[in-house]
Amino acid sequence: MPTVRLQISATPAHVRTARLVATAVARRSGVADSALDEIRLAVGEACSRAVSLHEEFAPHEMITVLLEDEGKFVVTVRDLGPVGTESRHTDPLEGFADLPGPDQFLATYSDRMPTGFGLAVIGSLVDDVEIRAAGDGPGTLVRMTWPIGTALT
Amino acid sequence: MPTVRLQISATPAHVRTARLVATAVARRSGVADSALDEIRLAVGEACSRAVSLHEEFAPHEMITVLLEDEGKFVVTVRDLGPVGTESRHTDPLEGFADLPGPDQFLATYSDRMPTGFGLAVIGSLVDDVEIRAAGDGPGTLVRMTWPIGTALT
Amino acid sequence: MDLSLSTRTEGDRTIVAVGGEIDVYTAPKLREQLIDLVSNGSYHIVVDLEGVEFLDSTGLGVLVGGLKRVRAHDGSLRLVCTQERILKIFRITGLTKVFPIHASVDEAVAASD
Amino acid sequence: MDLSLSTRTEGDRTIVAVGGEIDVYTAPKLREQLIDLVSNGSYHIVVDLEGVEFLDSTGLGVLVGGLKRVRAHDGSLRLVCTQERILKIFRITGLTKVFPIHASVDEAVAASD
Ligand SMILES: Nc1ncnc2c1ncn2[C@@H]1O[C@H](COP(=O)(O)OP(=O)(O)O)[C@@H](O)[C@H]1O
Ligand SMILES: Nc1ncnc2c1ncn2[C@@H]1O[C@H](COP(=O)(O)OP(=O)(O)O)[C@@H](O)[C@H]1O
């Protein structure tokens, strides 16, 4: 059941469309049930990040979510915002180590988590994540991979 | 909640992906609940038709499903198969009048309905349907429109 | 939702209870089941659609194929369906004239051919 | 699934029971509710997350915002949550250290600040 390419206009309601599609396709591709909540959350974080970037920088462009399931289940979320809006210090593989701690953001931020928080959630949640500039134009790729079945873990 | 563009590889499992997305987006766009079963069936027929065409003529190309909800809910299914595989006599707006009748297809066909049957289902089911050659390349567009809410009926 | 199939016999009738979605993805499974039954000599089949949530023209094609196969043995294929949303596709396609459609399995089993 | 909110008071505590999904689409509704409560003088809030099916970082942001607002009035914001899949995001983000999380509304209401 190879590939699905979903494009959504940059609006919060469609983050739900992306979560729905990613989770449904993951389930049918044979991803373990125990990973589905993780996929739902990670895809939601990646798309929420993309929607905020687009609302600011590219409101009329669509966000792309690519789902592939040959051997592994791979979700790639591509925005068309400027690259590097998160500090390069927010390496998601470092989790929350580089972000302002709770005391700081309680003092500083209101109603939204610091920039980079969504990527840090993804980094803490998903074992196999890659984040890089798309290269062939503006935008960042967030690529997350999960095993299919158990044999491929 | 403007636009969703879904592309699926030409495989039966993804007809379900398309049905799921179309129905979920329709519901959130404010299409009447009573129309959702109709949308599910019509989108399924359009995508099943596209998958059979692609399996034969364009197995590695993706089928596109465009969802728009500005004022009306519009679903456009585009295949990349050769145009005119259905006889032009199978005008879906004519329903089943031009298709072989049950006795004929019981005598002639096995296990699948005659070519054009899916389009005839769509034509009988949906008030506002347009079918035409894409023009800008191979393929046919099946465009189906439903009112949003009740004011626009 | 995927397709579920369960088969039992009552006298010379074979009842196939179908659940889930019958579409281009699952129809092959139903087709195989019907082919198997006919190959094994079941020529009077009742397909119980009460558990079906979705049925499209691919599914209809498989039911028509089943009908052709049992007719080749002077058999019968009866449907059980009371759900309006499933009945609708039989009605718009004119297939209500081709399939006997019953309100219960008992009624279908009792019907003579 | 959409967000549902229902509010009641017990003594000087206000309990907000949340149901459905708290995400970038619905979080504004929860934020407004918390802002309204604080504007109307409710400074001791218990947010009951037992009916929540999904919570992401946007939802966390709104809860943190609520906490900041009640703290400005020497108030409290306590959470009720026993669902593992919801607790997980508090745990990985270190927010278990920021929010008191209780196993029941009764326990949260009884807790002193
Ligand atoms: N760890 C990260 N956190 C946030 N964004 C990142 C991260 N890694 C890459 N990116 C995104 O990709 C862009 C360039 O990434 P990359 O090609 O790895 O950078 P460079 O070429 O500067 O080493 C960044 O500006 C950012 O948008
Ligand atoms: N009623 C129809 N039934 C099936 N296919 C149709 C129908 N109308 C249009 N098409 C598709 O579009 C193609 C060209 O449509 P159209 O532009 O209306 O034709 P023409 O330019 O020949 O009048 C057809 O060959 C077919 O693929």
Q: Which residues pair with A67 in a beta bridge?
A: A4, A75
B26-54 mean pLDDT? 97
- The answer to whether B106 contacts chain A (CB < 8 Å) is no
pLDDT at D14: 98
Domain ranges of chain B: 4-147
Partners of B48 on chain C (C-beta within 8 Å) are 23-24, 56-58
CA-to-CA dists, residue B74 to B43, B65, B129, angstroms = 11, 10, 10
- The answer to whether A17 contacts chain B (CB < 8 Å) is yes
Overall fold of domain C3-110:
Transcription Regulator spoIIAA (3.30.750)
Q: Is B5 in the pocket of ligand 2 (CB under 6 A)?
A: no
Alpha helices, H only, chain A: 12-29, 33-57, 102-108, 117-125
> Which residue, among C65, C2, C55, C58, has the nearest Cα to C32 in the 3D structure?
C65
How far apart CA A96 and CA A112 sit, in angstroms, is: 15
Q: Which of residues 66-105 of A touch D (CB under 8 A)?
A: 95-96, 101-102, 105
pLDDT at A93: 64
SS3 breakdown of chain C: % helix, strand, coil, rounded to 5? 40, 30, 25
Q: Is A17 exposed, middle or buried, given 0-12, 13-18 or 19+ CB atoms closer than 10 A?
A: buried
Structure confidence at residue B153 as a pLDDT band (50, 70, 90): very low
How far apart CA D70 and CA D43 sit, in angstroms, is: 5
Give tens-digit pLDDT for D45-101: 999 999 999 999 999 999 999 999 999 999 999 999 999 999 999 999 999 999 999
Dihedral through CA B113, CA B116, CA B120, CA B123, nearest 10? 150
State the sign of the Cα–Cα–Cα–Cα dihedral B14, B20, B26, B31. Answer: positive
pLDDT at A153: 42
Structure confidence at residue B37 as a pLDDT band (50, 70, 90): very high
Alpha helices, H only, chain B: 12-29, 33-57, 102-108, 117-125
Residue found by looking up tokens 């990973």 in the block: A35
pLDDT at A4: 98
| pTM flag (> 0.80) | yes
Element (H, E) at D86: helix D84-92
Overall fold of domain B4-147:
Heat Shock Protein 90 (3.30.565)
Structure confidence at residue B87 as a pLDDT band (50, 70, 90): low
Give tens-digit pLDDT for C7-43: 999 999 999 999 999 999 999 999 999 999 999 999 9
Domain ranges of chain C: 3-110
Q: Chains meeting B at 3+ CB pairs closer than 8 A?
A: A, C
The mean-pLDDT minimum among A110-114, B95-99, C60-64 falls in: B95-99
pLDDT at B79: 97
pLDDT at C62: 96
pLDDT at D6: 98
Amino acid at B75: V
Q: Is B119 in the pocket of ligand 2 (CB under 6 A)?
A: yes
Closest protein CA for atom 16 of ligand 2: B132
What's the B87 CA to ligand 2 centre distance in angstroms? 9
How far apart CA A137 and CA D95 sit, in angstroms, is: 37
* pLDDT surpasses 50 at A152: no
Structure confidence at residue D112 as a pLDDT band (50, 70, 90): confident
What's the C29 CA to ligand 2 centre distance in angstroms? 33
* pLDDT surpasses 60 at B89: no
Question: Of all residues in chain A, what percent carry a pLDDT higher than 70?
Answer: 87
Element (H, E) at C107: helix C105-110
How far apart CA D70 and CA D68 sit, in angstroms, is: 6
Contact predicate C29/C5, CB 8 Å: yes
Give tens-digit pLDDT for A76-134: 999 999 987 776 555 666 767 767 777 777 777 677 888 889 999 999 999 999 999 99
- The answer to whether A66 contacts chain B (CB < 8 Å) is no
